[in-house]
């Protein structure tokens, strides 16, 4: 059952100027409330299949992190404003499909 209305979500986030690391987890928790989905801690208290800041091996080598990761479903990388649109492609190029082959630390 949703705990946050679309109007409340928009009102809260439309003027936010926080940096990604300052806002990502709270924003995702609010998205969960908006759509009536359990938060990572509610759904997986161990963080083995649904967690924030999941360590990941990049497909092209090296390590990275997904802001939110749910095994078999998605890896979420937050972007707060339009200046980051070009980074979306770069993120996909660098990380590939994180839902496959992610190793949680």
pTM score, two decimals? Answer: 0.70
Q: For 16-59, how does the pLDDT look when each residue is reduced to its tens digit (9 = 90+)?
A: 888 888 889 999 999 999 999 999 999 999 999 999 999 887 77
Contact 26, 62 (CB under 8 A): no
SS in 3 state form for the chain?
A: CCCCCHHHHHHHHCCCCCCHHHHHHHHHHHHHHHHCCCCHHHHCCCCCCEEEEEEEECCCCCEEEEEEEECCCEEECCCCCHHHHHHHHHHHHHHCCCCCCCCCC
CA dist 55 and 104 (Å) reads 5
Residue with more model confidence, 84 or 93:
93
């Amino acid at each position: 059952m949703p705990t946050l209305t679309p109007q409340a979500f928009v009102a809260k986030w439309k003027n936010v100027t926080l940096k990604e690391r300052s806002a990502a987890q709270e924003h995702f928790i609010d998205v969960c409330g908006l759509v009536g989905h359990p938060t990572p801690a509610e759904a997986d208290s161990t963080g083995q299949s649904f967690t924030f800041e999941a360590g990941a091996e990049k497909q092209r080598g090296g390590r990275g992190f997904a802001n939110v990761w749910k095994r078999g479903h998605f890896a979420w990388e937050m972007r707060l404003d339009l200046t980051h649109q070009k980074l979306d492609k770069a993120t996909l190029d660098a990380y590939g499909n994180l839902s496959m082959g992610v190793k949680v630390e």
